[in-house]
A = this chain, B = another copy of it.
Amino acid sequence: MTLPSEPTNDVPRPDAHPSASAGLARPLQGIIVPMVTPLVDRDTLDTVGLERLVEHILSGGVNGLFVLGTTGEAPSLSYRLRRELIDRTCRQVRGRVPVLVGITDTAFVESVQLAGVAADAGAAAVVVAPPYYFPAGQAELLEYLKHLVPQLPLPLFLYNMPSHTKLAFELETMREAAKLQGLVGLKDSSANMIYFQCLLSLFRDRPDFTLLVGPEQLLGQAVLLGAHGGVNGGGNLHPRLYVGLYEAARDRDLDRMAALQRQVMQISTGIYSVGRFGSSYLKGLKCALSILGICSDFMAEPFHRFNPPERTRIERELRDLGLLE
């Protein structure tokens, strides 16, 4: 057996931060959609679905696309497919909005390599959650970031997702990490609004540091408190709704916020809560996109698409929401 000689990215890149990321506003504001990954089978992209999905999302007036996040089932995809997805998405977007690329991985070297792929493809930034197999501590997490950030050719957003990674970015860690050149923001999916407000306090004097909220049910209130925007999965389905809610919150239009929030909660309790699965959110979202004819609902292992009974319930919900005739 001949060992493959893939290049490794294990040295700092002197030419980092090229023009591709020049378009990244600091702070990044508005709705960034964490895109689902359309699949036709376990290792094949639904390329037509991907094109439709990108156009559907962009038509809603969103401010960015985030590929290979949790909603994108990134950890369940092969590296080959991840690279293809990055490439195809960036080509399809053609710079209309910044593309952020998830590089979260248990292997440092693979994260750096994905960041290189993202830079080559013209992405604007990369996003990383803590490595999620070994139970590490905050000191180890901070050291990891100190080693990682200089290796990255693109600006970095952190991604706080303790329910999946077992490890959160504690406030003291964030205080130190934020000093790293190239670290430009944080997406918080902890759903802990006390923590989020502490972040807002911590970064009061850093108007360039982007703070985005993950759970869409919290988008409105987070923006009202000072968040720069949201990274909300529902934007795959109904991008205009989330853009509208973001704008209403930004403009402090409380009546409009309340009306839109009601729709957001309807999607949350209707589309994301079918079945008794921890994965109901992902399954419901892909199922809805499939019903709307946007892309396939094939899911990467260990998940599997909804069966007809659940699909029928999602259809009914889409009708109630006015998204399906």
Which A positions have Cβ atoms within 8 angstroms of B? 1, 3-4, 6, 8, 10, 41-43, 70, 73, 75-81, 83-84, 87, 106-110, 113, 117, 120-121, 130-137, 140-141, 143-144, 147-148, 163-166, 191-194, 197-198, 201, 215, 217-218, 221, 224-225, 252, 254, 261-262, 265, 268-269, 277-279, 300-304
Partner of A254, one of B84, B224, B268: B224
CA distance A132 to B133 in the complex (A): 7
Q: Which residues of B contact A83 (CB under 8 A)?
A: 3-4
Partner of A217, one of B117, B121, B194, B268: B194
> Top 8 A-B pairs ranked by shortest CB distance?
A75-B106, A75-B133, A78-B109, A108-B301, A135-B278, A144-B302, A221-B221, A194-B217
How many copies of this chain does the complex contain?
4
CA distance A164 to B165 in the complex (A): 10
CA distance A130 to B221 in the complex (A): 29
Q: Which residues of B contact A121 (CB under 8 A)?
A: 1
Q: Which residues of B contact A163 (CB under 8 A)?
A: 135
Contact B75 A42 (CB under 8 A): no
Partner of A191, one of B73, B192, B304: B192
Q: Which residues of B contact A84 (CB under 8 A)?
A: 3
Contact A117 B1 (CB under 8 A): yes
Q: Which residues of B contact A77 (CB under 8 A)?
A: 107, 109
